Amino acid sequence: MTEHFPDWLHAPWQQLARTWGQGRLPHALLLAGPAGIGKHLLARKLTSLLLCQQPDADSGACGRCPACTWLRAGSHPDLSELVPEEPGKAIRIDQVRALGVELGMTSHAGRYKVAVIAPADAMNVNAANSLLKTLEEPTASTLLILLTASPGRLPATVRSRCQQLRIPGPATGQALDWLQGQGIERALAERCLQIAGGAPLAAAQLAASDSLDLRDRWLDELVAVFDGRLDPVRVADDWAGAHEAGALQWWQSALQALIRWQQAGEAPGEARLVQMLRQITEKVDCRQLFELSDRITMAVISLGSGLNRQLLLEDLLIDWARLAGKPPARSTAAGR
Ligand SMILES: [Zn+2]
């Protein structure tokens, strides 16, 4: 992805740069806004401004000084990034304590010390309580930047000690223009933006990954199992491997789309999903979809627990085939 600072972040950026120029930057900032709209880019631009040796409030960091070079190389000693050790896991108290120690030391480069915590709502209760100490006794020339899509999930005590800045997402046209500016062709950009719920950076990631092809394959397979053209055991075999968590989560979201379609008449935004799922929504009732959706949720949770993944997927897919009211297909190749 080329470096192109998105239009919709210009207003919040200018506000931050102005505050910095006036010497009124707080010790802790909470950047709140939907996932995938560029909160990280904004935090990064502000960090560069604070660490750069020849900064400019209008254009930001110079991009040429040693500090800018270290930052680009990911090795600036005055920047700490606090993230869960594994995606989806909590940020723990020992990580926050280590950060507190780090921020208590003087800056290596004689300028700011910056810490970015993302997602801030991933801090567990103990970690958040530990952060309070750092927030209550800030050291000079330190900035904590907390990023979150769900500020309500942070303790009020943490929120009240941060200056909150809400980052608005872009309008659809603006997001599409930006995606095209990234070299993504219009039709693909539209599809990815729909899937990503209007979040352009998430859409750009989707366009660059192979997950669209995977989604298409999963959808084809689900419809074929439903129609009795494909053996559920074969599909379970295909999914049980590297992709099962992604496949189950995608299946879950497709079921949710079906439920919304049935209950609220709100067809999915993705044209291909509409085309493929139309016959299913006509044949299956909402209660059955809810039951299956609950079971998939349980399956996603139990994936890590050592259960036989293949059997778990087979059960779900055989039940899916039964929803069509016909016996599921059995391929002789599977030998069952
Ligand atoms: Zn610089």
- Of 147, 67, 75, 137, nearest to 109 (Cα)? 67
* Cα–Cα nearest to 84, from 118, 115, 108, 113: 118
Q: What is the pLDDT of residue 1?
A: 38
Output phi, psi for 319, to 5 deg. -65, -35
56 Cα–ligand 1 center, Å: 9
Residue 196, pLDDT score = 85
Each residue's pLDDT tens digit, 137-166:
888 899 999 999 999 999 999 999 999 999
Q: What is the pLDDT of residues 306-318, one digit of tens each?
A: 778 889 999 999 9
pLDDT of residue 2: 39
Confidence (pLDDT) at 215: 87
**pLDDT band for position 327 (cuts 50, 70, 90):** low
Other C-beta atoms closer than 10 Å to the C-beta of 131 total 29
- Residue 72 CA, ligand 1 centroid: distance in Å: 10
Q: Residue 61 and residue 193: Cα distance in Å, rounded?
A: 30
**What are the C-alpha distances in Å from 139 to residues 102, 113, 168?**
11, 9, 30
Going from the Cα of 64 to the center of ligand 1, the distance in angstroms, rounded, reads 5
**pLDDT-based confidence at 3, cuts 50/70/90?**
low
pLDDT band at residue 235 under the 50/70/90 scheme: very high
pLDDT of residue 155: 95
Q: Which pLDDT belongs to residue 334?
A: 45
Say which residue the tokens 């929120």 belong to.
Answer: 159
Ligand 1 mean position to 71 CA, how many Å? 9
CA of 55 to the centre of ligand 1 (A): 6
CA 75 to ligand 1 centroid distance, Å: 14
DSSP code of 35? Answer: T
Q: Which of 223, 244, 243, 242 is nearest to 232 (CA)?
A: 223
Q: How confident is the model at residue 176 (pLDDT cuts 50, 70, 90)?
A: very high
Q: How many A from CA of 116 to the centre of ligand 1?
A: 19
CA distance 200 to 6: 10
> Residue 67 Cα, ligand 1 centroid: separation in angstroms?
6
Residue 335 reports pLDDT greater than 60: no
Residue 65 alpha carbon to ligand 1 centre in Å = 4
Residue 224: partners with Cβ closer than 8 Å, 6 or more residues away: 230, 235
pLDDT band of residue 326 (cuts 50, 70, 90) is low
* CB atoms closer than 10 angstroms to residue 156: 8
Record the tokens describing residue 311, joined without a space.
Answer: 């059997």
- The Å distance, Cα 50 to ligand 1 centre, comes to 9
Place of tokens 């660059």: 208
250 pLDDT exceeds 90? no
Which pTM value belongs to this model? 0.77
DSSP string for residues in 156-218: HHHHTTSEEEE-PPPPHHHHHHHHHHTT--HHHHHHHHHHTTT-HHHHHHHHHSSHHHHHHHH
Closest CA to 46 of 115, 123, 106: 115
Q: What is the SS3 assignment for 265?
A: coil
Q: Position of tokens 């349980």?
A: 298
* pLDDT digit string, tens, across residues 32-72: 999 999 999 999 999 999 999 999 878 789 999 999 999 99
CA distance 44 to 63: 13
∠ CA 176-43-29, nearest 5°, is 125
Tell me which residue of 217, 218, 232 sits closest to 322, measured CA to CA: 232
What is the residue-averaged pLDDT of the chain? 89
Strand extents, DSSP E, 70-110? 79-82
For residue range 86-132, list pLDDT tens digits in order: 877 899 999 999 999 999 888 888 889 999 999 999 999 999 999 99
CA 122/CA 106 separation, integer angstroms: 27
- Tell me how far apart the alpha carbons of residues 96 and 113 are, in angstroms, rounded to a whole number: 15
As a whole-number percent, the residues of the chain with pLDDT over 70 amount to 96
